[in-house]
Structure 1
Amino acid sequence: MGVAFSSEHAVFVSEGTSGRVALIDLSSGERRRVFDLNVAGYRNSFSGDLVWDGTQNVLYVADQANFRIAVIDVRSRKVLASATAGRLPMAMTLSPDRRRLYVANAGMFRYRPLPIPLSFPPFGFPSAEALTGTEAPAGQSVVQIPPIGDPTVPESNSVAVINVSDPSAPKLETFVRTGASSGLQNGFGSSPSGIIATASNVYVANAGGDSVTVIDVGNNHAELEIPLRIPGMEQQRGILPIGLAYDPKTGWLLAAEAGINAVGVIDTRTAHVLGHIPAGWFPTRLVVDRGTVFVANLRGNGSRPSARSDSNIPSTISSTPEPGSVSIYPLPSAEQLPGLTKLVMQSCGFEQRPRVAPPLPPIRHVVLIAKAGLSFDEVLGDLTTVANSPVMAAPQLAHFGSAGSASGRGDILSLHGVDLTPNHHAIARRWAFSDNFYSDSNIGLGYLWLAGVYPNAWRESLARSATSGGGSNPSLSPEDVGQSGTLWHHLVAHGITIANFGSGTNGPFLTNLPMLDPPYNVTSRTYPGLNSDVSDTGRAAQFIDEIQHRYLEGGLDLPGFVYLTLPNGKPADARRPLYPYAESFIADNDEALGRIVEYLSQTKWWQETVVFVTEASVQRGTDHIDATRTLLLLAGPWVKRSHVSHTNASFPGLIKTILALLRVPPHTLFDHAAADLTDCFDSTADDTPYHAFGADRRVYNPAELR
């Protein structure tokens, strides 16, 4: 998304999926004008970054959907011209003389529509089929699938240099690829997401590779790569540089480091990183003006409680879970940077106190079950104490707990005092859970985090635009993934076998967007994706059937890491007879969870297995601690009995625990620095099988499937 001030009284704001740009009056908040990019044959435009040239009254707009830059004459309100920009233009800057426009392209491919929708992604990436194309069955037909092509073409992960000396006739001069190994590593790109130009150089922030590329404006060649690393963690990525600013007085380049909530300081004369300055949550853009630094933080100071513990009414503190913020401070001196850097390192957990790690149990199989949508209090708020400790819970908010309710909405009889989640509660009471665990996303990006992928600037902006009505796609694309790869890649690289049930299979697939490989080759072709028309008990039956026939009866070992989705665990519109209430979906989800744990507990692998259960995201949940607090349940012979963990953790902490149990080193900076959940494990095992509870048949009856 883009913002550009035309004066002290008005600002241009891009609207994303509408393909429009609005000129907003800052005093009244009203629109003065609206400019539409969907003209002259262009459709489905997505307005992104903006650059304002006040000397010529020209506004440059990145159209991410059409891979172009639109040039708008503000006085006539017309689109003067368009210029090819490259794949997924993410950020732009003008040269000081305003004769060239430099565009950072974060994309890798130009995806094309398919003649017939597919029920499964057409091919994996990387693969020979992705390069050359293939055929795929679609019903009774065979569809020709066009390739996505070579990810190393010039317009991929690059900077487009556009001559705009005449804005009415912009001309593309060249592409300059950025990042280590020309922007490609481990199959994934550098994702250039921020850019700024001086009289001699163009600086490009590579979010996918944690580096800054220096381009010589005289020859348009990438002359230097400046790595951004954390001492002692040089192999991990996650700094996520996005916006850039240059201070001519000091010669310093400032980088908004979204992954570590800081601003990096680089001496452009020596190309050395001098230090880091604290910022708000997820800084994305910044400027330096006469010695003062202004930093735009996408998530501000974080989320808040969404309800009071003494009320079942959601809080009205803020309708925005994560309001943004702007940090304003004088540019520090060189002498102040070491102290500020130390503060950043400590705040991010990079300077951890040495501790003796507890011995890990002999676990060979990790099963991760990803659900969708509920807060901790909504489900386990009525669980106020367990054997080891009281629980941070609010019984009044446990709408989907042991004494929940199902509203008939005036159509059928409402129910009260209904046990909607008997299996969630039984698992929590028998084994372990956390009352201090948080989702790293409340806008549908949790599936990325659980795949070991931290959302980059493009995905964050796309998701926030989608929440206004465009929807969001939890499937991973090559543009999502940084140069460290996914959790899947990391596990396979360390010898861990994997299996996937449901992640990335949210069809129908309308374009030749690939599924990432290795997941592509280990993903069930029959397990349903994120489709609420399919019951979770149906998913459980499919999962059990595949494990039984392929692995148990087929003589194969259960993979070391098994991922499956149970996406129906939040209220939805009633659909009789299977779902007579909105809450019926939750009852369906609970019974499915119970059946899966019951089945696994009766297999030969149970003695060496642990099951983690969490919510991929929390959307509009009510919780008296924090709007993003969510569920984390553990089940297995080596899990402590009747134990609540108070360790402050989120998805990276879960990933860290999984990696530790499988004896795999850290993957990214996020899981490296996170607190783990090893306090949930015991030194002795109890492999007693689990017996699942059925749902209240008034709320959900799987017999209605027949």
Structure 2
Amino acid sequence: MPSRLLLLLILGLGLAQTPAARAQPRPARTATVLQVPGTREFCRIDEKGRSVLPSGRYVTPAGQLVRITHDPFGLALAPDGRTAVTLHNGVFTRLDLASLAAVRVPSYDGTIRSPLSNGSFLGVAFSADSKKVYLSGGDNGAVIIYDLEKMQRLDSISLNGACAGQQYADSFTSDLVLNEAAHELLALDRANFRLVRLDLNTRQVTASVPVGRQPFGLALSPDGRTALVANVGQYAYPLITGATPKNADSIMISRHPYGNDTKESREGTVVEGRQIPGVGSPLAPEAMSVFAVDLATNRVVDRFKTGHQIGEMVEGAEVVGGASPNSLAVGRQLAYVTNATNDNLTVIDYRNHRLLGDIPLKVDSRLDKYRGLLPFGLCLSRDERTLYVALLGFNAVAVVDVATRTTRGLIPTGWGPARVRLSADEKTLYVTSCRGLGAGPNGGAGFVAPPQGTYIGDIQLGSFQKVPVPTAAQLAAYTKQVLGNTFVPTKLAVNPKNPLPALPGLTPTPIKYVVYITKENRTYDEVLGQLREARGDSTLARFGVNCEYTLPDSLRGKFAHLRVAPNHRKVARQFAFSDNYYCDSDASIHGHHWMLGVVPNEWVEANSNVSKTAKLFSGAPGRRFPGSTGSMDPEDYAETGGLWEALERRHVAFYNFGEANETAHNREAWRDTATGAGHLVMEPMQKALFPRTSHDYAGFNTSIPDQFRMEQFEREFTKKWLTGRQKMPALITMQVPNDHGADVRPADGYPYRQSYMADNDLALGRILHFLSRTPYWKNMLVVVTEDDPQGGVDHVDAHRSLLLLAGPYVKRGYVSHAHANFGAVLKTIYNLLGVPYVNQYDATGTLLQDFFTGTPDFRPYTLERSDLRIFDPQQAMRRYDKTIDWRKVEKGPEMDDEARERADHYRQQKAKSK
């Protein structure tokens, strides 16, 4: 009995306390979210203070800085310590290291002519007397010799010609190193996959040594006996079997032939009746490796596979991208190579022919599990105890202790540091950055065009920094500054009523489907600059509504009340948009990486900013390199992939319309409607994406109307997810590209450049009109953005672009002023779909909860027809013998056939009973 009484007493006390406990306020649940520091700021350039980048990160470069031509991928210091030369595409800059006075060659006024033709690439080296400089000729396959005192070209040495009984042609000069003891230059030929030795006395090629694919970085051992070559290429890309210059146009296939690292990609396959060669194993010795060459014998003595290898498991995820070894620093026994994809360095004992492991680059425990540092150029102190590493993705130079294999600290740089060099007295560091302080505005009231021009890639200057080597105390302060420039941890109260979780899957959300739409090349001002409730410049709104005032005087009367993009304006005002959103990218090759969760690595950056000529039938295999625009090449893949791979790992369904089917050398004719392309060079697609991509939707190809794409999209969507048996996947990606613009084609319905935007605008209206009349709409979010802003102008920043959000749980008539970029968009998708972040930009993107409401509005969107004076959709479809059934379009999608579904239901029940 006592025990029963005691139990009843305890239970009674517990019950008695319950109402009181319920009456007590529960502590608010919080979550720590990492965000960029500039979440409430617009982009700006401050040469003497803190600049705000498109990502929302800050840059506060240490030391002294001078702005120079964009993308300085080559850097050398003169032996006398007085001069530096940076090499850009078709340009070099001579800098006085005392005053930082810079001379651009060619000069903007034309008084100093360029010694370069067809661009240049990476390689720059000084003569021993510091009077001459050797420059990579890039596409012309030569080395240029230039007199820095007389400022004139002295000679050009071609890598082409016969060597040891073999003929070489179509060379492409990459990195250079002076071997003073042998009075020779070592040069890489990325087209013919070889190391070339050039005698400076005879100006002749003395040796040609086969190395790996797309040789990129070159270094020489201190004793001059060993050359080390970093190869960034993954494959030697073949043509379709039997292809010739005469039959090339007729033999192309409509799509990528296989997924990467599959049986078909390794061994070959048949596609559309064509025999397709394989590309072999991604683990081949020639792929993404470091070769050691014995210069006494001109033989490769080692083939090192550095970094993490494809197929390995790293932190619970399969490696899908190669290490991208790119730059080298060589000591008396050990060499170091930067593996951009892996955020680490590999240590090579080249004397004893072995790998000694990796040095992971760690910067902060809250970020170290994500990739995104992208180590690029590096240099080694004379005592070989310290490495200085340019972190392309982190806007800093890492100071690495060799003995302990740890990162001592970080030095703040400009945007995208590429190269770092140490002065001979080891008191000063010199750093080049690709994008310096950013772009700034390239139009609008009061804007004065600079001498380099207003195109985004020109107005955005690079930078050259002179930084005293910091003391331990200064390095600690710099490190704190770099981290503060990159992210801020924010403790937020968890609001379960907001449909956007603060972290992936943290709270339930009614949003189950995301449609992610990308368009091409437009800035904010030229489309939405007229909206008075936001920060715009209406004088730049050439694609607006009632925008005839932006036309030449001769056309204004003809186009009174011109409506170029009425749907963009209507979507923005009916749902929500941002006036503080930026593409991280300058052009398409960057944009289609950024927006799909892959930060462009050093190869993408360097290869996209060099003049290059494709020669598909050349004997030089490097001339068939795809050099992608709308696709990602295998050379570009991130360590564990991007958006596609993240979804696949979590078993989240997705499907793709139009992304990732455009390589640089494909055909884009009006008849290529299956995917928008015709392929001759065989390149794999991402393995996760390949089986989830439509083969009946035209990707980038401005010869095909966006209205044709809408017919394709509506047809396949209806067949798969409305009248078919499948459920709509959680994510749909979709490319609608014709706002890119092209040459006028009056006969095809495009009498003006604005006609392409009007086509695109009508397509956007049709998409939302269609989707908002499907049963999925009640749980849907539609995200609309651009892949890059390169085609336009903007009064805030050349990177500012469009971000529209639509759906029942998006606020109506809302303008977001939060700083946003691709990282913020991807964070939104990952948080909604419960998928872990992939890289540092996702993890630190702005949390866009301000766009959303917990009170849904299910009203559909109704499209606006186009202004027929500027674009006639029926005329655009005429060459396809198609007409648009507007009654059908405006009615909306076909739904399930109720009678058929009822009959199918009873058939299944009957089958179960047997």
TM-score category, normalised to shorter length: over 0.9
Residue 31 and residue 654 in structure 1: after superposition, are their counterparts in 2 closer, same or farther (change >3 A)? farther
Is 1:373 aligned to residue 506 of structure 2? no
1:149 to 273, 280, 294: 280
Mapped partners of 2:441, 2:275: distance in 1: 51
Mapped partners of 1:183, 1:203: distance in 2: 24
Alpha carbons 1:19, 1:37 under 8 Å: kept: yes
Determine helix, strand or coil for the equivalent of 1:569. Answer: helix
Q: Give the partner amino acid of 1:431.
A: F
Residue of structure 1 equivalent to 2:324? 191
Residue of structure 1 equivalent to 2:492? 355
Mapped partners of 2:406, 2:309: distance in 1: 20
Residue 29 and residue 650 in structure 1: after superposition, are their counterparts in 2 closer, same or farther (change >3 A)? farther
Q: Could you tell me how far 1:89 is from its partner in structure 2?
A: 1.2
Mapped partners of 1:136, 1:84: distance in 2: 32
Residue of structure 2 equivalent to 1:344? 482
Alpha carbons 2:309, 2:322 under 8 Å: kept: no
1:660 to 813, 831, 840: 831
Residue of structure 2 equivalent to 1:568? 738
Mapped partners of 1:136, 1:539: distance in 2: 23
Residue 613 and residue 182 in structure 1: after superposition, are their counterparts in 2 closer, same or farther (change >3 A)? closer
Residue 24 and residue 685 in structure 1: after superposition, are their counterparts in 2 closer, same or farther (change >3 A)? farther
Mapped partners of 2:553, 2:153: distance in 1: 39
Determine helix, strand or coil for the equivalent of 2:459. Answer: coil
**Residue range with higher mean Cα deviation, 530-539 or 331-340:** 331-340
Q: Give the partner amino acid of 1:23.
A: I
Structure 2 unaligned regions, length at least 5 = 1-120, 244-250, 313-317, 500-509, 616-626, 663-676, 879-914
Determine helix, strand or coil for the equivalent of 1:344. Answer: helix
1:612 to 760, 778, 783: 783
**Residue range with higher mean Cα deviation, 208-217 or 227-236:** 227-236
Residue of structure 1 equivalent to 2:234? 108
**Residue range with higher mean Cα deviation, 100-109 or 592-601:** 100-109
1:251 to 379, 382, 385: 385
Q: Could you tell me how far 1:122 is from its partner in structure 2?
A: 0.7
Mapped partners of 2:260, 2:175: distance in 1: 28
2:351 to 218, 238, 262: 218
Mapped partners of 1:332, 1:410: distance in 2: 61
- How many residues matched? 692
TM-score (norm 2): 0.73
Residue 223 and residue 635 in structure 1: after superposition, are their counterparts in 2 closer, same or farther (change >3 A)? same
- CA deviations on 1:594-619 (whole Å, 9 max, x unpaired) are 10011000000001111111110111
1:462 to 583, 598, 607: 607
Q: Could you tell me how far 1:13 is from its partner in structure 2?
A: 2.7
- CA deviations on 1:413-461 (whole Å, 9 max, x unpaired) are 9635411000000000111111111111113210111111111111111
Residue of structure 2 equivalent to 1:179? 307
Residue of structure 2 equivalent to 1:388? none
Determine helix, strand or coil for the equivalent of 1:634. Answer: strand
Residue of structure 2 equivalent to 1:555? 725
Q: Which has the larger radius of gyration?
A: 2
Q: Could you tell me how far 1:634 is from its partner in structure 2?
A: 0.8
Mapped partners of 1:125, 1:326: distance in 2: 39
Alpha carbons 2:360, 2:405 under 8 Å: kept: no
Q: Give the partner amino acid of 2:850.
A: D
1:42 to 168, 171, 175: 168
Is 1:503 aligned to residue 643 of structure 2? no
Alpha carbons 2:752, 2:870 under 8 Å: kept: yes
Is 1:135 aligned to residue 270 of structure 2? yes
Mapped partners of 2:530, 2:557: distance in 1: 24
Give the alignment of 1:89-108 within 5 angstroms: 89-108=215-234
Greater helix content = 2
Give the alignment of 1:270-419 within 5 angstroms: 270-289=404-423, 290=425, 291-309=427-445, 318-319=453-454, 320-349=458-487, 351-359=488-496, 360-361=498-499, 362-385=510-533, 391-405=534-548, 415=559, 417-419=561-563
Residue 467 and residue 344 in structure 1: after superposition, are their counterparts in 2 closer, same or farther (change >3 A)? farther
Residue of structure 1 equivalent to 2:89? none
**Residue range with higher mean Cα deviation, 46-55 or 514-523:** 46-55
Mapped partners of 2:159, 2:863: distance in 1: 56
Mapped partners of 1:227, 1:182: distance in 2: 18
Residue of structure 2 equivalent to 1:170? 298
**Residue range with higher mean Cα deviation, 435-444 or 392-401:** 435-444
Residue of structure 1 equivalent to 2:582? 438
Mapped partners of 2:680, 2:202: distance in 1: 38
Identity among equivalent positions (%) equals 36
Residue of structure 2 equivalent to 1:493? 649
Q: Give the partner amino acid of 1:452.
A: G
Alpha carbons 2:137, 2:143 under 8 Å: kept: yes
- CA deviations on 1:174-209 (whole Å, 9 max, x unpaired) are 201100348965232111011110002010110011
Q: Give the partner amino acid of 1:646.
A: H
**Residue range with higher mean Cα deviation, 119-128 or 469-478:** 469-478
Alpha carbons 1:439, 1:628 under 8 Å: kept: yes
Structure 1 unaligned regions, length at least 5 = 386-390
**Residue range with higher mean Cα deviation, 501-510 or 485-494:** 501-510
**Residue range with higher mean Cα deviation, 469-478 or 36-45:** 469-478
Alpha carbons 1:304, 1:627 under 8 Å: kept: yes
Mapped partners of 2:321, 2:526: distance in 1: 39
Alpha carbons 1:256, 1:285 under 8 Å: kept: yes
Alpha carbons 2:309, 2:319 under 8 Å: kept: no
Alpha carbons 1:155, 1:177 under 8 Å: kept: no
Q: Give the partner amino acid of 1:222.
A: L
Q: Could you tell me how far 1:526 is from its partner in structure 2?
A: 1.1
Q: Could you tell me how far 1:334 is from its partner in structure 2?
A: 2.6
Mapped partners of 2:555, 2:173: distance in 1: 43
Q: Give the partner amino acid of 2:145.
A: L
**Residue range with higher mean Cα deviation, 522-531 or 78-87:** 78-87
Residue 685 and residue 148 in structure 1: after superposition, are their counterparts in 2 closer, same or farther (change >3 A)? same
Is 1:201 aligned to residue 334 of structure 2? yes
Alpha carbons 1:309, 1:624 under 8 Å: kept: yes
CA RMSD of aligned residues (A): 2.3
**Residue range with higher mean Cα deviation, 94-103 or 149-158:** 149-158
Q: Give the partner amino acid of 2:213.
A: R
Residue 21 and residue 587 in structure 1: after superposition, are their counterparts in 2 closer, same or farther (change >3 A)? farther
Mapped partners of 1:419, 1:427: distance in 2: 14
Residue 98 and residue 630 in structure 1: after superposition, are their counterparts in 2 closer, same or farther (change >3 A)? same
Alpha carbons 1:191, 1:482 under 8 Å: kept: no
Q: Give the partner amino acid of 1:6.
A: F
Q: Could you tell me how far 1:46 is from its partner in structure 2?
A: 2.7
Is 1:4 aligned to residue 135 of structure 2? no
Is 1:125 aligned to residue 260 of structure 2? yes
Greater strand content = 1
Q: Could you tell me how far 1:97 is from its partner in structure 2?
A: 0.7
